[in-house]
C-alpha cells in the first residue's frame, strides 16, 4: 500500500483472535502509548468495541491487523466501514515473534504486540483486505463448498471400497466407480454375495433395467459372474459388520450426491448472471465446473494485480528460487491459496485435450524430462499469462488468434508442423 494513497489514520489496532475471547492492542495516531484489553467472542461485544472506536475517532479510519483473512471475526468486522483490515499470515507473525523471542515464549498479549508492531512499522508490506463484489464472493463460497463436498464424497467412496474388499470384493469387479448410483443401489439391495446369489436371474435383470442398464450382453455377463462367484469370508461377524458399515457409507454418499447436485444448480444460475462469465466460457476444457472456479480465482477487481507475476506468485503456480552463495534451488511454492492453485492446475490439465498449442506445450515439457505435475504447472503458468491479459482487457480468449500470434512471434511451438483441418490451423507435433 503506497504511503501517498493511505488515509489519515485515526488509530492502529491489532487483535489476537481466539475461540472464546480476543486480546487487542491499540495506539492512537496522535499518541505514543498503547491501550489494550480483552474482547469476548460475541457479536454484541464486537459491535460495542467497533462502535466505541467510531464514536471516539469520529468515524475516521482505523487500521486493524489480525491473523485472519476469513473467519468469524473477520466477517463481523467487515461490516464496519471505518475499520480497514490488514490480514497477516500466522507464519509471518510467528517468525517475526521468534526473531525477538528465541526462547519461544508466547502469550496472547505478546502476539497482539507483535501484530501491532507489524502494522506500525511494516504496513507497506501488508495489503488491506479488499472484498470482492457480493455476487463474486457468493459464487466463491459455493464453488469451495462444492469442492469440499466432492472431497468428502471421495473419502466415503474410498472407505466403502476398503469395506467391500474385506467381505464382498466382487462388487468392485462387476461395476466401475463404486460411488455411482447403480453399484450403491446394488450393495444396498444385496449387501452380501449369498443374498444376491439367492435371487432369481429375472429379479436381477429387472433391477438392472430399473437402474438404466440396458445392455443385454453386459447384464448377462454380470449375472453369470454373480452365480459363479465364491464367498470371500465365512466369518459372520466380519460380514454383518461390513454390511452395516457399507449401508451407512452408501447413505452418506447419496446425501452428498444430492447436495452436490443442488450446489451445482445454484452455481450455474449465479455464474450465468455474472458479468464476467463470457470471459471463461471461451476457455478450452474449462467446462461447467471450472469456469466459475476460474472466475472467482481471478476476481472482478482489475486493480488487485498490477502485473501477471503477482497473480502467478499468489496462486502458487510460480516456483520459488532460493539463492545462497553458489547454490541455487528452484522448488514448489508451498505458501499459497491451495484451492486457487488447484483450480489453475486442473484447468491446464483439461486444456491439454481441447487446445492444440496447450497439448504441444505439454508434450514438449514431458519430452524435456519433466514429470506430469511439473509439466501441468508449467502449462498453467503460461495459461495465467493469457488469462491475465484477457481479464484486464475484458476480452474473451480466441484460440485461432493465439495460434496466429505464435506464428507471428516465431514461438518454439510454431516450429511444429501446421495442418489445415476444417478451415482451422492445427498443430501437429512430432518428436524423435
Helix, strand, coil percentages (3-state) for the chain, rounded to 5, are: 60, 10, 30
The CATH number of 138-270 is: 1.10.287.4070
Residues 397-410: pLDDT tens digits? 998 888 888 888 87
The arithmetic mean of pLDDT across residues 349-374, rounded, is 92
What distance in Å separates the CA atoms of residue 78 and residue 70, rounded to the nearest whole number?
A: 10
Residues 248-285: pLDDT tens digits? 999 999 999 999 999 999 999 999 999 999 999 999 99
What distance in Å separates the CA atoms of residue 271 and residue 136, rounded to the nearest whole number?
A: 9
**The three cell numbers locating residue 190:** 444385496
Residue 430 confidence class, pLDDT cut points 50, 70, 90: very low
Count H helices, E strands: the chain? 18, 9
Q: Cα dist. 233→130, 237, 243, 414, 422 in Å?
A: 60, 10, 13, 60, 59
**The three cell numbers locating residue 22:** 480476543
Q: Is the confidence at residue 327, as pLDDT, over 70?
A: yes
Residues 94-121: pLDDT tens digits? 888 888 888 777 888 889 999 999 999 9
List the domain boundaries for the chain. 3-131, 138-270, 297-428
Q: Which residues of 323-354 are buried (b: 16+ CB within 10 A; e: fewer)?
A: eeeeeeeeeebeebeebbbebbbbbbbbbbee
Q: Is the confidence at residue 246, as pLDDT, over 90?
A: yes
**Amino acid 311: pLDDT:** 93
Fold of 3-131: Nucleotidyltransferase; domain 5 (3.30.420)
What distance in Å separates the CA atoms of residue 378 and residue 417, rounded to the nearest whole number?
A: 22
Residue 414 confidence class, pLDDT cut points 50, 70, 90: low
**Amino acid 422: pLDDT:** 43
What distance in Å separates the CA atoms of residue 195 and residue 207, rounded to the nearest whole number?
A: 14
The sign one gets for the Cα dihedral 370, 338, 115, 10 is: positive
Instruction: Find the angle CA(400)-CA(403)-CA(409) to the nearest 5 degrees.
Output: 140
Q: What is the DSSP letter of 84?
A: E
What distance in Å separates the CA atoms of residue 203 and residue 219, rounded to the nearest whole number?
A: 12
The arithmetic mean of pLDDT across residues 19-48, rounded, is 92
Q: Is the confidence at residue 429, as pLDDT, over 50?
A: no
Residues 46-100: pLDDT tens digits? 999 999 999 999 999 999 999 988 888 999 999 999 999 999 988 888 888 888 8
Amino acid at each position: 500500500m503506497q504511503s501517498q494513497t493511505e488515509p489519515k489514520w485515526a488509530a492502529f489496532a491489532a487483535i489476537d483472535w481466539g475461540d472464546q475471547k480476543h486480546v487487542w492492542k491499540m495506539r492512537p495516531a496522535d499518541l505514543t502509548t498503547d491501550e489494550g484489553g480483552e474482547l469476548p467472542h460475541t457479536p454484541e461485544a464486537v459491535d460495542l468495541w467497533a462502535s466505541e472506536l467510531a464514536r471516539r475517532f469520529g468515524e475516521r479510519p482505523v487500521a486493524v491487523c489480525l491473523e485472519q483473512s476469513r473467519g468469524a471475526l473477520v466477517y463481523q468486522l467487515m461490516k464496519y466501514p471505518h475499520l480497514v483490515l490488514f490480514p497477516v499470515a500466522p507464519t509471518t507473525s510467528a517468525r517475526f515473534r521468534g526473531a525477538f523471542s528465541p526462547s519461544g515464549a508466547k502469550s496472547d498479549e505478546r502476539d497482539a504486540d507483535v501484530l501491532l508492531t507489524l502494522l506500525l512499522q511494516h504496513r507497506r508490506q501488508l495489503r488491506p483486505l479488499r472484498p470482492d463484489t457480493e455476487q463474486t464472493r457468493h459464487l466463491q463460497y459455493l464453488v469451495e463448498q462444492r469442492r469440499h463436498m466432492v472431497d468428502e464424497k471421495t473419502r466415503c467412496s474410498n472407505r466403502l471400497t476398503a469395506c467391500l474388499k474385506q467381505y464382498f470384493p466382487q462388487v468392485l469387479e462387476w461395476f466401475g466407480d463404486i460411488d455411482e448410483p447403480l453399484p450403491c443401489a446394488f450393495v444396498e439391495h444385496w449387501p452380501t454375495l449369498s443374498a444376491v446369489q439367492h435371487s432369481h436371474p429375472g429379479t436381477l435383470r429387472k433391477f438392472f433395467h430399473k437402474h438404466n442398464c440396458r445392455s443385454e450382453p453386459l447384464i448377462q455377463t454380470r449375472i453369470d459372474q454373480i452365480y459363479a462367484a465364491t464367498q470371500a469370508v465365512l466369518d459372520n461377524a466380519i460380514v454383518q459388520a461390513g454390511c452395516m458399515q457399507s449401508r451407512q457409507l452408501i447413505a452418506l454418499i447419496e446425501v452428498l450426491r444430492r447436495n452436490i447436485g443442488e450446489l451445482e444448480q445454484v452455481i450455474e444460475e449465479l455464474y450465468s448472471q455474472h458479468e464476467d462469465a463470457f470471459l471463461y466460457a471461451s476457455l478450452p476444457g474449462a467446462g461447467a465446473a471450472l469456469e466459475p472456479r476460474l472466475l472467482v480465482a481471478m476476481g472482478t477487481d482489475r486493480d488487485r494485480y498490477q502485473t501477471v507475476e503477482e497473480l502467478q506468485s499468489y496462486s502458487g503456480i510460480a516456483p520459488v528460487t532460493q539463492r545462497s552463495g553458489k547454490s541455487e534451488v528452484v522448488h514448489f511454492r508451498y505458501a499459497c491459496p491451495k484451492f486457487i492453485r488447484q483450480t489453475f492446475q486442473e484447468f491446464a490439465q483439461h486444456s491439454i485435450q481441447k487446445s492444440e498449442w496447450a497439448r504441444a506445450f505439454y508434450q514438449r515439457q514431458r519430452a524435456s524430462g519433466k514429470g506430469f505435475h511439473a509439466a501441468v504447472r508449467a502449462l498453467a503458468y503460461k495459461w495465467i499469462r493469457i488469462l491475465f491479459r484477457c481479464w484486464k482487457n475484458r476480452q474473451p480468449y480466441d484460440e485461432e488468434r493465439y495460434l496466429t500470434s505464435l506464428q507471428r512471434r516465431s514461438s518454439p511451438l510454431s516450429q511444429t508442423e501446421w495442418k489445415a483441418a476444417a478451415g482451422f490451423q492445427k498443430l501437429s507435433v512430432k518428436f524423435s
